[in-house]
Amino acid sequence: MNRVCVVMGVGPGNGEAFVRRFCREGYKVAMLARSEDYLKQLESSVDGAHAFTCDMMEPEQIAAVLSDIKSALGPVSVLLYNAGGGAFKNVEDATLEEFEANWRLNVGGLVAATKAALPQLRQQDSASIIVTSASAATRGRANTAPFASAKAAQRSLAQSLARQLGPERIHVANVVIDGVVDLPRTRQMLPDKPDEFFVQPCAVADAVWNLCQQDASAWTHELDIRPFGETW
Amino acid sequence: MNRVCVVMGVGPGNGEAFVRRFCREGYKVAMLARSEDYLKQLESSVDGAHAFTCDMMEPEQIAAVLSDIKSALGPVSVLLYNAGGGAFKNVEDATLEEFEANWRLNVGGLVAATKAALPQLRQQDSASIIVTSASAATRGRANTAPFASAKAAQRSLAQSLARQLGPERIHVANVVIDGVVDLPRTRQMLPDKPDEFFVQPCAVADAVWNLCQQDASAWTHELDIRPFGETW
Amino acid sequence: MNRVCVVMGVGPGNGEAFVRRFCREGYKVAMLARSEDYLKQLESSVDGAHAFTCDMMEPEQIAAVLSDIKSALGPVSVLLYNAGGGAFKNVEDATLEEFEANWRLNVGGLVAATKAALPQLRQQDSASIIVTSASAATRGRANTAPFASAKAAQRSLAQSLARQLGPERIHVANVVIDGVVDLPRTRQMLPDKPDEFFVQPCAVADAVWNLCQQDASAWTHELDIRPFGETW
Amino acid sequence: MNRVCVVMGVGPGNGEAFVRRFCREGYKVAMLARSEDYLKQLESSVDGAHAFTCDMMEPEQIAAVLSDIKSALGPVSVLLYNAGGGAFKNVEDATLEEFEANWRLNVGGLVAATKAALPQLRQQDSASIIVTSASAATRGRANTAPFASAKAAQRSLAQSLARQLGPERIHVANVVIDGVVDLPRTRQMLPDKPDEFFVQPCAVADAVWNLCQQDASAWTHELDIRPFGETW
């Protein structure tokens, strides 16, 4: 076996955990992010990880990189779309440009990635597209307007993809994270929270890995993930 | 009483029915659409209707027109966002540009309109923003990818607006139409369907009017609308 | 016109407001509740209101009373199922008997009422069944286990009824109230809340009345109702 | 390790697959069903499986059996509530007794089982309650009235349990199966369907097992399961 996984949007947190998990399972993993330095550092420390600099806001870059990955590593069988983030502001404090940028990162990039990856995914007996979502995808709050609307659009797109591609044995899933992921940045912002308050990236990676192992007779399209103590 | 209503996205169907209904109730109605000819014709036949040419894909035009409306008719108290429509295609048949255009019309335009209208709406004792949605907003199907994801984003935005603006007594509602609206175009496409298959625009206008009359102690944020025989 | 409306579960609040509204519109209204004294008092003060003692936990009583109503007032065209209430407890504090009683009142009673009323509703050109629901119907919280699960079951039943009966031109709607209704009891429990905190029953009655007036080309199955300042 | 799992509602299909999977992982598994013959046969063929005759419609039996299990095998750490099934009829064809029986099996039994099992689950460092649900839980169709409303009530209850018990490190999850499970009975009913049409019970058991292994920082409350070719 010599399978190829692409992780779009690698950073400390879920993205890096996905890279490590799929490498550990024997995959060649193409890591995409804007920062070449960060990727190079990760590449040197994780066996099987390969750096591909890419800005997920730029669809032409995405198309080009997916082509490079095929040449370098072979056709992709797993696409993990982890690019995300956005503006936590209300409609007045956010600019229209922020709304658009949030859409571009969460939706436009996934459209471009899907278009570019599909011919490769279709060469496999089984393939997966997994999207990292957030509870904001399920409701718009006053101060999450740009982010929530972009994530709602992305979630709808994931459903369209699942319904189109399922019958072709391409498994599309949406992982709705409801909680704060354990990152240097979030720890600094929330210094008083105990360890157990945070979502552990390696546990998210377990969930993503399990999704990719599901038998085609029992696929999950959506699951939520939250720490045991989270209020919801 | 001399209240002002803006209908964004006027065409034969719901938009025109909204114009007629609010004019009949004594409102001055600003009608926005791209086609000046169409608007002028409607203006000449409906008392109280005023034509303002505007492309809802162009946020600067929206801002400028809202300012013109205030000068010409006075500050707005009802904003009906009826611009919509989109591509019914799967992710491969639709171009990224179509995805973006659908977002721009359904979401970007509503953001721009809200930003431009809010100072006027806040001058009123009570005010309303009503969004025309579709059942596609609630789920992504294989062949509705660009439209459904744009409508999902718009629905999320309407929730954010409702939660932000409700406490200021600005009522935001989302009207989810599940069915085919009776239009010359849809009749031509579906010549074998009986009259009762179609949603009547004047009945949608009744629902929108009733939303705008609700007591502030019992506001509806979302309602669905479908013909009695529709399968759902 | 000499139309007949049945309000099941009349008490100070929404039930009484429904009675007053439909009487004012010229309906003969059959009021059902357990307390004969309360109903008799209301009967004497509202023109068109008729008292029918009935325990909504007892399906045989429901069947018998619907038959009595037909004999006394004529066949029913509007059925408002307003019986409700329940236990706000977690699964351990609530007894199994409380779970069952909540189901019996919210679901069993609606099943019995629908079965008994359908032959009468079918004699009409148009007819309505409107269910008073609550936001608990949409999610189970720790301390609403018996009530929320009964309301979720009732909401599902309302959907089944709507899908079955819509094509027969019987309009079924579910009114999800998200807020505290203004009642002597709730005022006493929340003495510090301002007037505007409470849902006004007559405003809920407006919404119910409007649902019953909708054109068959544009029926609403579900709408939410909440005060403008409610957090959600 | 000597952990105990209870499977309530064992039959050919998911229940039996759960038994086999947890036994294979080294659990002692208490199997509950009405048919002693069937359980005894299974007991003799699966190492670690123990038969406990029980009717899930009878809460006193459930309480008694949970106590017997503790005496015989030790305190339970995993409760799989797989009792289910129901009437696929509309509101008129179904009797009120069928509605009630569906509620009793899907909701009443889960209430009784939770009350009986909680003291045992609380003795563990980590524990799980997993409920087998169905897509009917998410919507009421015309011809699923009793089953769908019971499953909606059960789903709401699972949410209440998850929110109450999560902070105590008892993981509650709801597994929404959307498809036809591969059983002798369903094969007979649908003789023309290909193998891949059916949900494989052992794949459902994988999902349930994975839920029970999740790290407490990343618990899933709900996931859907469907065959890759299912229309949804």
Strand segments (E) across chain A: 4-8, 28-33, 49-53, 78-81, 127-134, 170-177, 222-225
Q: Classify B225 as helix, strand or coil.
A: strand
C interface with B, Cβ–Cβ below 8 Å: 163, 166-167, 169, 171, 179, 182, 196, 198-200, 202-204, 206-207, 210, 214-232
Low-confidence ranges of chain C (pLDDT < 50): none
Q: Classify D97 as helix, strand or coil.
A: helix
pLDDT for position A101: 97
Which tokens in the block code for residue C149? 């699960």
Q: How far apart, in whole angstroms, are the C-alpha atoms of residue B223 and residue C7?
A: 23
Label each residue of A115-164 as H, E or C: HHHHHHHCCCCCEEEEEEEEHHHHCCCHHHHHHHHHHHHHHHHHHHHHHH
Domain A4-225 has CATH 3.10.180.10: no
Q: What is the mean pLDDT of residues B10-36?
A: 97
Q: Cα separations (Å) of A223 from A135, A147, A155, B83, C175? A: 11, 20, 12, 33, 29
Q: How far apart, in whole angstroms, are the C-alpha atoms of residue C182 and residue C200?
A: 6
pTM: 0.98
Q: How far apart, in whole angstroms, are the C-alpha atoms of residue C170 and residue C163?
A: 10
Strand segments (E) across chain B: 4-8, 28-33, 49-53, 78-81, 127-134, 170-177, 222-225
Report residue B203: phi and psi, to 5°: -75, -35
pLDDT for position D160: 98
* C contact chains, 3+ CB pairs < 8 A: B, D
Q: Which residues of D57-96 are buried (b: 16+ CB within 10 A; e: fewer)?
A: ebbebbbebbeebbeebebbbbbbbbbbebbebbbeebeb
Which tokens in the block code for residue D112? 């009784």
pLDDT for position A85: 82
pLDDT for position C1: 54
List, for residues C11-20, the tens digit of each pLDDT value.
999 999 999 9
Closest CA of chain A from D119, distance in Å: 19
pLDDT for position B2: 75
pLDDT for position D1: 54
Question: Which of A1-5, A39-43, D166-170, D191-195 is least confident?
Answer: A1-5
Which tokens in the block code for residue A167? 């019958």
- Kindly give the confidence (pLDDT) of every residue in chain A, 232 residues in length, as a single tens digit, with 9 standing for 90 and above: 579 999 999 999 999 999 999 999 999 999 999 999 999 999 999 999 999 999 999 999 999 999 999 999 999 999 999 998 888 999 999 999 999 999 999 999 999 999 999 999 999 999 999 999 999 999 999 999 999 999 999 999 999 999 999 999 999 999 999 999 999 999 999 999 999 999 999 999 999 999 999 999 999 999 999 999 999 9
Q: What is the mean pLDDT of residues B84-98?
A: 94
C interface with D, Cβ–Cβ below 8 Å: 59, 90-92, 96, 99-100, 103, 107-108, 111-112, 114-115, 118, 137, 139-145, 148-161, 163-164
Q: Are B213 and B166 in contact (CB under 8 A)?
A: no
Q: How far apart, in whole angstroms, are the C-alpha atoms of residue A225 and residue D63?
A: 32
Please determine, for residue B74, whether its predicted confidence score (pLDDT) is greater than 80.
Answer: yes
Query: How far, rounded to the nearest angstrom, does the alpha carbon of residue D4 sit from its chain's CA centroid?
Result: 16
pLDDT for position D2: 75
pLDDT for position C84: 85
Q: Do B144 and A164 touch (CB under 8 A)?
A: no
pLDDT for position A3: 95
Predicted confidence band of residue B215 (pLDDT cuts 50, 70, 90): very high
Q: Do B226 and C218 touch (CB under 8 A)?
A: yes
* D contact chains, 3+ CB pairs < 8 A: A, C
Which tokens in the block code for residue C54? 């009935």
Q: What is the DSSP letter of D176?
A: E
What stretch of H or E contains C33? Answer: strand C28-33
Q: How far apart, in whole angstroms, are the C-alpha atoms of residue D232 and residue D230?
A: 6
A interface with D, Cβ–Cβ below 8 Å: 163, 166-167, 169, 171, 179, 182, 196, 198-200, 202-204, 206-207, 210, 214-232
Q: How far apart, in whole angstroms, are the C-alpha atoms of residue D67 and residue D65?
A: 5
What stretch of H or E contains C43? Answer: helix C36-45
Predicted confidence band of residue B135 (pLDDT cuts 50, 70, 90): very high
Residues of D in contact with C118 (CB under 8 A): 92
Helices (H), B36-76: 36-45, 59-73
Q: How far apart, in whole angstroms, are the C-alpha atoms of residue B216 and residue C195?
A: 11
Predicted confidence band of residue B87 (pLDDT cuts 50, 70, 90): confident
Q: What is the mean pLDDT of residues B176-196?
A: 96
Measured between CB atoms, which of D166, D182, D226 is closest to A219? D226
Please determine, for residue B1, whether its predicted confidence score (pLDDT) is greater than 80.
Answer: no
Q: What is the mean pLDDT of residues B198-211?
A: 98
Q: Are A87 and A147 in contact (CB under 8 A)?
A: yes
Whether ipTM exceeds 0.90:
yes
Q: Do C216 and B227 touch (CB under 8 A)?
A: yes
